[in-house]
Chain A
Amino acid sequence: MGKKNKDEGPNANNVVNKDIMQRLNFMYQASVYLSGVLPIPPAPAPQKRQKRTRKMTVHDLSKSYVNSMKVVANKTMVKMHVPSLDPAVKRTLCNGCNIVLVPGSTASVRVKSSRHHGHIMVYRCGSCDSTRRIPAPPTLAEGDSAPSTSTHPDEAPPPVDEPYKPYKHKPRPRPRPRQPPLFARDAGHVVLRGNDKLPDRDPDLGDGIYIT
């Protein structure tokens, strides 16, 4: 890994693999177009003693575009032990059938509660019925430090001579707020538009592409 001059900052002209990025972008958008251009036909009832002759549809095409998008990303952007697609993009793809999960169109979104994370977003794919569970724990506000473990000072120990009380279960500890994942966090990322740098985005609004 060659060292780069840090003072220059990122520049749109020397983004590595720019043409590959553009290709991935195109394939993603083509896949979204084809997955939404016709309604998903209902699955035909399975019939016995009949040869299955399923024809390829535009939905299968859209899946095959995403499939080859994954292959392109894996083959070209070689980083060691790092999944090559950006996690923000990867989270919008179905693991079962490679369709792009668009909430309301190809996926239904439900929020479920979870003991560990507080909440979990469940994306159910409309075509293959598989689910993608994305934990959505309470997030720390920007600049907050890690929460202190004991916010309430311990009260005085209970007096010894107390009437017998039935044992009560302690309430479960609530999930602690934590920082959002690295790709959704303001960790020194720079957004480039054309050749100039964009100002930092509003952390409250986001830019609308993350499923977090």
Chain B
Amino acid sequence: MLLLDNAAKESRLKKERDAKKAKLRAAKEHKKLGVLGRRQDTARGMGLWGFDESQAQFALFLPLHHLWLGYMSELLHLPQPGGAPRALSGAAIHPKLLKADFHGSIISVHQTKNTAILGISGIVIHETEATFKVVTKENRLKVLPKQNSIFTFAVPVQSILPATHDTDSPLPLPSPEANEELKTVLDGPHALLQLHGNQFCFRAADRAGRKFKAKESIEL
């Protein structure tokens, strides 16, 4: 009986092979994660978070805003214009608005610790976990951090959808060319709602399935 002092080592070739496999697997996972589907670089290297300044035009995103107004009218069951305006009850619309999409809405910064962004208002074109990206009326793109800010956004009080609208037909979309008289939600009757950015630091897609808990908000 002989005890082997030097136990069988793992062969060098096997180690190399395993390392190669792990590397391949990691590369595959990384490729899956890509925001554009074909990421070959980091997001910053690809310039993913910068926006082309020439395309940040308010007029370009006004139809998106109108699409959003139609979506809100459908979501909140807004009454047709002409009838008596019905007061929106908070208990009915808050859970809906939490799950709603804010791309296309007009938000403005109401209160904030960061005074440089106070009062900026524009159409949300992209929502990330920590920021809103808005295009202002001056055709500038602004990145507004959610943390430490209170936003206001407006929902229409009356439906902008035609009375004949049904769930089968597409939401009305004006063309970007003939939009001289296109108006935002602020030009009609609207209700202003406050949004506490501190409690809204979630990705837009995650909000749909999330249960929100009441947190005490600290005044800014």
B68 near A26 (CB under 8 angstroms)? yes
Interface residues of A (CB under 8 A from B): 12, 19-20, 22-23, 25-27, 29-30, 33-34, 37-38, 51-58, 60-61, 63-65, 67-69, 71-72, 75-76, 95-98, 128, 191-194, 198
**In the bound complex, what is the Cα–Cα distance between A27 and B37 (angstroms)?**
19
Candidate in B36, B49, B64, B126 with the most chain A CB atoms within 10 angstroms: B36
Enumerate chain A residues within 8 angstroms of B125, measured Cβ to Cβ.
61
Given A60-B48, A72-B205, A75-B208, A26:B67 Cβ within 8 A:
yes
A23 near B209 (CB under 8 angstroms)? no
- Closest B residue, CB atoms, query A23: B101
Candidate in A38, A95, A96 with the most chain B CB atoms within 10 angstroms: A38
Given A54-B46, A64-B35, A26:B101 Cβ within 8 A:
yes
Please tell me which one of the listed residues B71, B101, B209 contacts residue A75 in the complex, with CB atoms under 8 A apart.
Answer: B209
Task: Determine if B201 is an interface residue (Cβ-Cβ < 8 Å).
Answer: no
- Closest A residue, CB atoms, query B51: A56
B46 near A29 (CB under 8 angstroms)? no
1/0 contact string of B93-126 vs chain A (CB within 8 Å): 0001001110110000000000000000000011
A76 near B209 (CB under 8 angstroms)? yes
Shortest C-beta distance, B52 to chain A (Å), equals 4
Enumerate chain A residues within 8 angstroms of B103, measured Cβ to Cβ.
27, 30, 65
B99 near A20 (CB under 8 angstroms)? yes
A57 near B52 (CB under 8 angstroms)? yes
The B interface is mostly helix, strand or loop, or mixed, namely loop
| Selected interface stretch from B9-17, B149-157, B165-173, B179-187 | B165-173
B45 near A52 (CB under 8 angstroms)? yes
A23 near B167 (CB under 8 angstroms)? no
Task: Determine if B83 is an interface residue (Cβ-Cβ < 8 Å).
Answer: no
1/0 contact string of B45-86 vs chain A (CB within 8 Å): 111111111010000100110011001001100000000000
What are 10 A-B contacts defined by CB distance under 8 Å? A25-B71, A33-B63, A53-B50, A56-B52, A57-B52, A57-B55, A58-B55, A63-B36, A68-B205, A96-B38
Task: Determine if B219 is an interface residue (Cβ-Cβ < 8 Å).
Answer: no
B38 near A56 (CB under 8 angstroms)? no
The A interface is mostly helix, strand or loop, or mixed, namely helix
**What is the number of contacts between chain A and chain B, taking CB atoms within 8 Å?**
113
**In the bound complex, what is the Cα–Cα distance between A181 and B103 (angstroms)?**
34
Interface residues of B (CB under 8 A from A): 35-38, 41, 45-53, 55, 60, 63-64, 67-68, 71, 74-75, 96, 99-101, 103-104, 125-126, 166-168, 170-171, 173, 176, 203-206, 208-209
B67 near A52 (CB under 8 angstroms)? no
Extra contacts, 8 of them, besides A27-B101, A33-B63, A97-B37 (Cβ < 8 A), are: A19-B100, A22-B71, A22-B75, A23-B101, A30-B67, A54-B48, A128-B38, A193-B166
**In the bound complex, what is the Cα–Cα distance between A68 and B206 (angstroms)?**
9
B47 near A52 (CB under 8 angstroms)? yes
A56 near B205 (CB under 8 angstroms)? no
Shortest C-beta distance, B55 to chain A (Å), equals 5
**In the bound complex, what is the Cα–Cα distance between A75 and B35 (angstroms)?**
18
A26 near B71 (CB under 8 angstroms)? yes
Shortest C-beta distance, A64 to chain B (Å), equals 7
Enumerate chain B residues within 8 angstroms of A20, measured Cβ to Cβ.
99, 208
- Closest A residue, CB atoms, query B169: A193
- Closest B residue, CB atoms, query A51: B45
Please tell me which one of the listed residues A55, A67, A193 contacts residue B47 in the complex, with CB atoms under 8 A apart.
Answer: A55
A19 near B168 (CB under 8 angstroms)? no
